A and B are shown apart, each in its own frame.
Chain A
Amino acid sequence: MEELTAFANFFASAIRLTAPIALGTLACTISERAGVINIGIEGTMLFSGFTAAVGTWYTGSPWVGLLCGCAGGILMAAILGVLAIYCNGQQIVIGIGINLFGPGLAYMLMRALWDTTGISPWLEGFGALEIPIIRNIPILNTMVSGYPVCIYLGILAVVVMAYLLRKTAWGLRVRAVGENPHAVATLGVNVYRLRMFAVVLGGFFAGMAGAVMCLSSANVFVNDMSAGSGFMAFAANQFGHWSPVGGYFAALLFGAMSAFRMRLQSLGVATQLTQMLPYVATLIGISIAGARMRPPAANGEPYAHPLTLPRAHKRPQGPNQPLRQEKEQ
């Protein structure tokens, strides 16, 4: 019984630690399924964490905060989307730019708003949601009930997205666009709009991840609080073979490893070594599963928008020399 309780506690801790990473992973998955790599999850999470904090602070309601967080995520994803899809940008580099830009902007606004770059005021967090019947069953109550609402929402989002991607026409198109956009375009589908929607939807979930990070147990926004979970999400997506459910379990592996190492205090192993656990596990996992890993074929490859082609009557030799023509004008 004691072991069971300990396991239930460990499980609950893992689920809580997983929540923001899993949502970030979902964001990566949707975006990459459509062929756009989003490595800017880290910056997006910090920015949306900030917007979520602002929303909650103004209204006192975490729900408004959650919406504001999603909006912040959408803003960052829109920057990536417009530049990567409509302007043929290099996706990974834009993502890295977002990792600089997002937090910078957040801290800048934070200073304008609260005159600090450290910590936001205390926020109203999501309370724990006790599920009626389960709350009375001994072990299950810790494992299933009692998480903040936003964590349930995150799991729901994973399930819904898994269904949408796998079972609907829209999902089929998204997946196809990540594999071969040219083929999809010949069927009369607007590749750009589809990709843009997927990226923005990803941003929505990344924003949710930021909000969950702030409002589930911390109830405060702290400078640099994501501490690399955006990168973990990026890794978990690949580890989970670009599927929402797989991604969730990959993120859960991180969460479980972290929760596990937090229970090793009395062992006396050097803390730096136990803290390496999640990273080393991923590395080994990738080296084992690596051979079977197959990313979407068109992942990271831009599908040139007509707007990025120079106009016909002033197109000189090469395809990519727009500035020379401006001079001729």
Chain B
Amino acid sequence: MKAGKKMQKILGLVLALAMLCALNGCASTPAAEEPAAEDASTASTAKIAVVFASSGLGDKSFNDALYAGMEAAQADMGIEWVYSEPQDDAEYEGLLSGYADAGDCDLIICLGGSQSSSLENVAPNYPDQKFVILDAVVEGDNIRSYTWRDEELGFLAGLLGASLSETNTLGFIGAHDIPLCNLGAAGMIAGAHYVNPDCEVLVDYANGWAEVNGCYEIATSMHEQGASLIYHTASAGGLGILNAGSEQGFLTIFFDGNLNADAPETNIASAIRDFPACAQEAIQDVIDGNFTAGSIVKGLAEDGLYLDFEGSTYEIPEDVMATYEEAVAAIKAGSIVVPTTIEEAQTWSAE
């Protein structure tokens, strides 16, 4: 009984403290934050909020690409932008609704497929708030989704690999066995078979977004099994593949971000998804007032994807480049439709 009373006292104290803090906070925070917001609206510039993916800035990959794109947009379009870097997937919902609550953002950009379920929860509560999600499709009247036909990049990687290979073996490493990562694998298998139906593509997964050492070893083992070119969708793990390639002398194609200069002799190209362009397109639409919801898919045809050869010193033979250009044209024209799952890719053939 006595203990209960003490507990009561303590609880009371804690609650009182909490109330005090709450009152204090209520009174002072809006005052502290309002002026900044008003400045923004009076200057009549668009304010954009970006929620990055939990892998964080500095990933030499898609977070950094979007960051650079937003900086460029700030310089070119005169927008104002704020961003946050969640530490884990559980923070997305809080951040998204936090920005939506503030109400002064014209557009909220979500980066990464892992935000989709959080956005699905948040978006219906703020019908007037515009959202853009990159790399996943979310249905909603106020959401525009951008996705990329990653399989087309994989196709080109597989095509180059199979053309350059003397061993008829290629390798693909994904971060996880999830549909997003498998797009690249499917494309690569199809691309390899397009050039050489006997070409085998080894597929493996690192089981993590930051498995640099794991990817290094997987790439090494694939090289031992004869893989002459390794492509990946392993996020930061790709750095390990890049290392292994330049140490052991097999070819690599880096994904999401141009790191050709870091291994110029073995990394023949970098697969780029043009995040910044999409973000800027959405921002421009918001500024012009013709933002529309819906799903937009970008591929080679829309110039949303490309292989960047800049910075690599590897010489690709003329005839291979010719096949490559031909395939790019065919994909752009729609005469080659690249499969999206590994099962489809195994039986796929170009018409």
Whether the Cβ atoms of B58 and A116 lie closer than 8 Å is yes
Residues of B within 8 A of A118 (CB): 55-60, 63-64, 236
Whether the Cβ atoms of A266 and B85 lie closer than 8 Å is no
- Bound-state CA distance A271–B182 (Å) is 12
Residues of B within 8 A of A219 (CB): 243
Q: Which residue among B58, B200, B209, B244 has the maximum number of chain A CB atoms within 10 Å of its CB? A: B58
How many interface contacts (CB-CB < 8 Å) are there between A and B? 103
Residues of B within 8 A of A312 (CB): none
Interface residues of A in 250-308 (CB under 8 A from B): 258-259, 262-263, 265-266, 270-272, 275
Residues of B within 8 A of A216 (CB): 213
Chain B residue with Cβ nearest A116: B58
Q: Nearest Cβ distance between residue A113 and chain B, in whole angstroms? A: 11
Of A74-82, A220-228, A235-243, A318-326, the segment with at least 4 beta carbons within 8 Å of chain B is A220-228
Chain A residue with Cβ nearest B172: A265
Chain B residue with Cβ nearest A19: B213
Whether the Cβ atoms of B240 and A227 lie closer than 8 Å is no
Partner of A217, one of B58, B85, B216: B216
Residues of A within 8 A of B207 (CB): 271, 275
Q: Nearest Cβ distance between residue A65 and chain B, in whole angstroms? A: 16
- B152 CB-CB contact with A under 8 Å: no
Whether the Cβ atoms of B56 and A117 lie closer than 8 Å is yes
- Bound-state CA distance A119–B243 (Å) is 15
A114 with B216, Cβ < 8 A, contacts A217-B244, A265-B204, A271-B204 known: no
Interface size classification for chain A: 35 or more
Whether the Cβ atoms of A13 and B205 lie closer than 8 Å is no
A117 with B85, Cβ < 8 A, contacts A6-B224, A263-B221, A271-B177 known: yes
Whether the Cβ atoms of A16 and B217 lie closer than 8 Å is yes
Q: Nearest Cβ distance between residue B225 and chain A, in whole angstroms? A: 7
Whether the Cβ atoms of B213 and A266 lie closer than 8 Å is no
- Bound-state CA distance A115–B57 (Å) is 9
Residues of A within 8 A of B64 (CB): 118
Interface residues of B in 217-233 (CB under 8 A from A): 217-218, 220-222, 224-225
Residues of A within 8 A of B205 (CB): 271, 275
Chain B residue with Cβ nearest A17: B217
- B208 CB-CB contact with A under 8 Å: yes
- B239 CB-CB contact with A under 8 Å: yes
- B137 CB-CB contact with A under 8 Å: no
Whether the Cβ atoms of A223 and B56 lie closer than 8 Å is yes
A-B contact pairs, 6 of them (CB 8 A): A217-B243, A218-B216, A258-B217, A263-B221, A265-B202, A265-B203
4 closest A-B pairs (Cβ-Cβ)? A116-B58, A118-B58, A218-B212, A118-B59
